Amino acid sequence: MSARIKDYQFYIYLVAFVISFFVLVISANDVIFHSDFLSNSALSFSSLGNWDYWIFVAGVIFTLLFFYFLYKITIDMRKFEELVSKQSKYNFVKSMKDLQKIARRLGPKYERQLAAAMEKFKVK
């Protein structure tokens, strides 16, 4: 992922999760629940015929996938903030390897925060 997109990956995954969840709800209604409320409106995939089932399966897969990505990024962001905010130089240096990995995954914004924290603790 390019450096510019990494700064916004949380929001990208959030939007993708919401869209895939929305598709999952609509397709679940068409395949499983058959509620007239959504079936009679324009929010239905029933006009696609047997593709309903494939859309349902894709909705489940993408919803779970983007939920995992959101969960992983949120955990990384929390862990990074927790490790950077430590007041002890010893603990900061001890967790430097994890901080560098997480900062690389999360993008330039977090790399700048890590560089500032390294300056604060006078670590190379």
**pLDDT 10s digits, 57-104:** 999 999 999 999 999 999 999 999 998 888 888 888 899 999 999 999
Predicted pLDDT at 21: 96
What is the per-residue pLDDT across 32-67, written as a single tens digit (0 to 9) for each? 877 776 666 667 776 677 788 899 999 999 999 999
**How far, in Å, are 3, 9, 51 from residue 108 at the CA level?**
6, 12, 41
How many CB atoms are closer than 10 A to CB 106?
20
Q: What range does the domain containing 25 cover?
A: 3-121
- Overall domain count for the chain: 1
The alpha-helical segments, DSSP class H, found in 1-124 are 3-6, 9-28, 36-39, 51-84, 89-94, 96-106, 108-121
**CA–CA gap between residue 112 and residue 3 (Å, rounded):** 12
